[in-house]
Chain A
Amino acid sequence: MILNVTFWAFSALAVFSGWRVFRADSMVRAAYWLLVSFAAVGIILVLLRAEFLGLILILMMGGEMTIMAVFMVAFMMNPAGLNPMTMVHRNSVAIVAGVVSFLAVAALGLFARFPVARAPEGVDPTRKLGVELLGNSMLVFQTAGVTLLAAMIAAIAISSARGRYGDADQGSVEPDQMVTAPAGDVAAAAAHDPAPVTSPGAHQ
């Protein structure tokens, strides 16, 4: 009974805070609403006796959402939420897509036949998971680790300010808007500014 009430409370919290993510006026608040949603799902996992997964989800998301909040302050407009904020495009299409995907996945959950086999009592799932991680599923575990390492290297390579031979964005800067001018204007402009843009000494 208590378990059921707790479950429904945290389910409602997970869905409500997930919805608030896209309704908050401040992106920092949106990040922390997302953290609330993740924490609620983590607690549901703990209630389902997947303690390790639930707690590691909360731990990981606590760190990630803090980084995300820092990103919001650094890059995005209106991080403090002083003004109302809606930055959406094709809102109605997105609402329809969201509702349709909810109905489709929920119908799958409601009407598909799944085997019923609860985790047995008295066995420690965390211990079993640890043995599995370093036993039969070692390859999966190692592959996940190498994938994360590759992601770290790729993140540094993409976001680095300097590449091996100079600025990282060299050659990838968007060209200026091409304006087609009448021929007379081009000749006049050339006569007005005949000097080349870069002087010969500038390459050193």
Chain B
Amino acid sequence: MFLLNFLTILFGKLMVRVLRMMGKNAGNLPGLALWTLNKKCLKAFRPDCPIIAVTGTNGKTSVTNFLSYIFSKSGCKNIITNYEGNNLDTGICSLLLNYCTMTGKIHADYLVLEVDESHVPVIFSQLKLETLIVLNFFRDQLDRNGEVETLILKVKKFCETFDGNLILNGDDPNVARLGLANPGNKKVKYFSVERYKYATETLYEAGEGRFCPVCGHALEYDYYQYSHIGKFRCPKCGYGNYPVYARFTGIDPDKRTFTADGGKYTTVCSSIYYMYNLCAVYSAAKLYGIDKEIIRKAFRSFRVNNGRLESFRYKNSELILNLAKNPVGANMTVRIMNECPGKKELLFVLNDNTADGLDVSWIWDINFSIFNNVSKVVASGTRAYDIAVRIKCSGYDASKIKVRPDLDDAVKELFSGEGKKFAIANYTAVQPARAALNRFIGGVRDEK
């Protein structure tokens, strides 16, 4: 076994070296090669620190970046993390290969990893996980991932034998059910966000959690924060009643403030899904005993950027760019846009590359009929016309839709008028969109 592990790492390291000598960025390739040769290759790595993993449909990258930042500010110099969201088995394998010694040892204070939902079981059957954070489960790229339920069952199966810390979004019935998977695990912690002012009595956007995962009865909701996230309970078996470990209260979207454990916090953004991300971050930071002042400072100033509610400025206009890979993500941005007073313009960049999923029908699950004071829409990307037709059929005035498949043209069109702008871009569109925005605004912007 020892020899096999040694050879695995030797081979991987050699590969990284050869690729570098050829002037290539090794990227995912060494991990992919190791994984193909040996499906248990992660066993060769021996980290000497706690591993924290973040999973769920939306928000993984943001929460992972926030946690790494907070840990780094609390005196931990050595944190290994996949900032860029290389979150599949092969990506994590490549990451660890970069940091390990020849004997597979990895020395760090913390390993903070975002992990694709479907890869949680296979990765953490080989690496000892201390804390798993689960954010939410939404439908996402059905042609690639299969159905949401299949995905939840995979993670649930893992949780049945997991006895580490399990930090769960208690307001997502699809996530909270994981807390019941292993009745012997006493380290299950739920987080929750108190009703905010735009919460609704009925489901506003496409959602998943309709039935009680315990008894199958239809769930009842006191309110929905967004999609199927909200205060739910099962009238038959009582599912939904659990102690809350961390709760945000007094959410004020205008002042961008909230309260947690009696302390008041100010944030950079205030959308409700951002609040849920922060609540996950807060729960983990609380569990690891991080000083409240460090958390407060991080919440007040840290920005993940990278196309996640990233802000751009050009003359008198501000633009907010947000990644959306699925209807819930896009609905969230439309909601943020609507909650913003005054006239605004929207850029939507839609690609259908392999990593996006070839099927773009999910745009029909976005609720565009609620557009409030949107004076122009610019459609871009490889499927620019699809999004234009989608928005038109929601009842929006077709003469206000400009189709500019080329991103530079699209950005130029968007900034031809003044005022507030929003941009939604899907997975492979977000980095090109950032690049086009930066090109247009001119000069190189400071990163973070």
Q: Do A and B bind each other?
A: no
B positions within 8 Å CB-CB of A: none
